[in-house]
Amino acid sequence: MSNPHKQATIYRMVMDEHLCPFGLKALDLLKREGFEVEDNWLRTRQATDAFMDKHGVETTPQIFINGERIGGFDALRRQLGKPVSDPDEVTYQPVIAVFVTAALMALAASWLAFASLFKLQAVEWFVAFSMCMLASLKLRDLESFTTMFLGYDLLAQRVVRYAYAYPFAELIAGVLMISGSLVWLSAPLALFIGTIGAYSVFKAVYVEKRELKCACVGGDSNVPLGFISLTENLMMVGMGLWMLIAH
């Protein structure tokens, strides 16, 4: 319900060729916070430029609360005591999202195949699904990945082409592990890249104490190189050893 004592006015771009997403987010936030909102559309580029010139601003949307200009979407969030995302802030969110999604996929596959969630196969699928998902994120922008990867991987620093081959090797190993075929190839491959990766991360983070970003989810991420990066590689090492022993 809107509150008559909480008045807000928003000016946002609503054009045939462009609908401002931050304007929509700001409008939604204001309504959820109980504001009575006057929603003003800037329908043309000329109208938008005229509005910005009048108020001495460089961006839209612009939000006013009780007649006082607050600013754009981020300024509104600060005004309302909401957290504001920082594009440069380090975060584990991307890799955690991959692991959680892979775990749910593995449990779903286990339920479909065995009518049970508690099967060893589900653990194998979890690792293999994670490898495939992480490989796809690296392949999304191979050049960006290799640039970040070369900052800490010891083999890639000696053989640059290894950085380009790494995501393909991770994907091939993961797909073969899902299928359960060619274990003679998938297990040693996972063991090889996982061992080198684990040693490289351990040396860079725990021995040299370097603060780096991890290329595990691609070269444009803000995931810090550290425990989770080491865990990813140790999972591949463990999976490789298990596949060799079990199969």
Q: What is the pLDDT of residue 4?
A: 56
- Is 3-79 in CATH node 3.40.50.300? no
Q: Residue 48 is encoded by which pair of tokens?
A: 């938008």
Report yes or no: 158 and 208 within 8 Å, Cβ to Cβ.
no
Q: For residue 4, give Cα distances in angstroms to 10, 38, 66, 78, 217.
A: 16, 12, 11, 22, 47
Q: Alpha-carbon distance 212 to 234, whole Å? A: 19
Please give the chain's pLDDT, 247 residues, in tens.
Answer: 445 568 999 999 999 889 999 999 999 999 999 999 999 999 999 999 999 999 999 999 999 998 899 999 999 999 998 888 766 677 788 888 999 999 999 999 999 998 888 888 899 999 999 999 999 999 999 999 999 999 999 999 999 999 999 999 999 999 999 998 898 999 999 999 999 999 999 999 999 998 888 888 887 788 888 888 888 899 899 989 988 888 7
Provide the residue type at 130 as one letter.
Answer: S
Q: What is the pLDDT of residue 120?
A: 85
Q: Alpha-carbon distance 170 to 247, whole Å? A: 19
Q: What is the pLDDT of residue 3?
A: 55
Q: What is the pLDDT of residue 147?
A: 92
Q: Alpha-carbon distance 63 to 71, whole Å? A: 5
Beta strands in 14-119 (DSSP E): 35-42, 62-65, 68-71
Q: What is the pLDDT of residue 36?
A: 93
Provide the residue type at 46 as one letter.
Answer: Q
Q: What is the pLDDT of residue 84?
A: 82
pTM (2 d.p.): 0.80
Angle between helices 160-179 and 120-139 (to 10 degrees): 150
Report yes or no: 102 and 135 within 8 Å, Cβ to Cβ.
no
Structural domain boundaries of the chain? Answer: 3-79, 93-246
Q: Residue 164 is encoded by which pair of tokens?
A: 């380009």
